[in-house]
Amino acid sequence: MSIEKVMMLIVGTMVLLSAVLAYYFSPLWLLLTAFIGLNLLISGFTGFCPMVLILRKLGLKHGCAFRGCNAENQIG
Protein backbone atom coordinates (compact mmCIF):
# COMPACT_ATOMS: atom_id res chain seq x y z
CA MET A 1 0.00 0.00 0.00
CA SER A 2 1.32 3.45 -0.86
CA ILE A 3 1.99 6.34 1.50
CA GLU A 4 -0.80 8.33 -0.15
CA LYS A 5 -3.42 5.65 0.48
CA VAL A 6 -2.33 5.13 4.08
CA MET A 7 -2.40 8.90 4.67
CA MET A 8 -5.99 9.15 3.40
CA LEU A 9 -7.02 6.24 5.63
CA ILE A 10 -5.34 7.71 8.72
CA VAL A 11 -6.64 11.26 8.19
CA GLY A 12 -10.17 10.12 7.41
CA THR A 13 -10.25 7.86 10.45
CA MET A 14 -8.92 10.57 12.76
CA VAL A 15 -11.42 13.18 11.53
CA LEU A 16 -14.36 10.80 11.92
CA LEU A 17 -13.13 9.65 15.33
CA SER A 18 -12.73 13.21 16.60
CA ALA A 19 -16.21 14.13 15.34
CA VAL A 20 -17.76 11.14 17.14
CA LEU A 21 -15.83 11.93 20.33
CA ALA A 22 -16.94 15.57 20.14
CA TYR A 23 -20.57 14.54 19.71
CA TYR A 24 -20.66 12.02 22.55
CA PHE A 25 -18.13 13.36 25.05
CA SER A 26 -16.82 16.90 24.66
CA PRO A 27 -16.72 19.58 21.95
CA LEU A 28 -13.03 20.01 22.80
CA TRP A 29 -12.36 16.98 20.59
CA LEU A 30 -13.00 19.30 17.65
CA LEU A 31 -9.55 20.74 18.38
CA LEU A 32 -8.14 17.48 17.01
CA THR A 33 -10.15 18.00 13.83
CA ALA A 34 -8.82 21.56 13.58
CA PHE A 35 -5.25 20.33 14.14
CA ILE A 36 -5.61 17.77 11.35
CA GLY A 37 -7.06 20.40 9.00
CA LEU A 38 -4.25 22.83 9.81
CA ASN A 39 -1.64 20.14 9.11
CA LEU A 40 -3.29 19.36 5.76
CA LEU A 41 -3.33 23.05 4.87
CA ILE A 42 0.33 23.55 5.82
CA SER A 43 1.45 20.42 3.97
CA GLY A 44 -0.47 21.57 0.90
CA PHE A 45 1.48 24.81 0.82
CA THR A 46 4.89 23.56 1.94
CA GLY A 47 4.95 19.94 0.77
CA PHE A 48 6.13 18.88 4.23
CA CYS A 49 4.13 16.34 6.25
CA PRO A 50 5.48 14.74 9.44
CA MET A 51 3.33 11.63 8.94
CA VAL A 52 5.00 10.96 5.57
CA LEU A 53 8.39 10.87 7.31
CA ILE A 54 7.05 8.30 9.78
CA LEU A 55 5.49 6.17 7.04
CA ARG A 56 8.74 6.23 5.04
CA LYS A 57 10.65 4.99 8.09
CA LEU A 58 8.10 2.17 8.33
CA GLY A 59 9.07 1.15 4.80
CA LEU A 60 6.14 2.46 2.76
CA LYS A 61 6.77 3.95 -0.66
CA HIS A 62 5.08 6.69 -2.66
CA GLY A 63 2.66 5.51 -5.31
CA CYS A 64 -0.66 6.03 -6.98
CA ALA A 65 -3.55 6.84 -4.68
CA PHE A 66 -6.34 6.78 -7.24
CA ARG A 67 -7.54 4.52 -10.03
CA GLY A 68 -6.23 5.29 -13.46
CA CYS A 69 -2.79 6.15 -12.18
CA ASN A 70 0.03 4.30 -13.88
CA ALA A 71 3.71 3.76 -13.16
CA GLU A 72 4.71 6.80 -15.25
CA ASN A 73 2.80 9.07 -12.87
CA GLN A 74 4.41 7.75 -9.70
CA ILE A 75 6.82 9.85 -7.68
CA GLY A 76 10.19 8.56 -6.54
- Tens-digit pLDDT profile for residues 51-73: 999 999 999 998 887 777 765 55
- Give the list of residues 6+ apart from residue 29 with CB closer than 8 angstroms, or none: 18, 19, 21, 22
DSSP 3-state assignment of 42?
A: helix
pLDDT at 69: 74
pLDDT band at 28 (very low <50, low <70, confident <90, very high): very high
pLDDT at 6: 93
Q: Give the residue-averaged pLDDT of 24-40.
A: 96
pTM beyond 0.95, yes or no: no
pLDDT at 65: 75
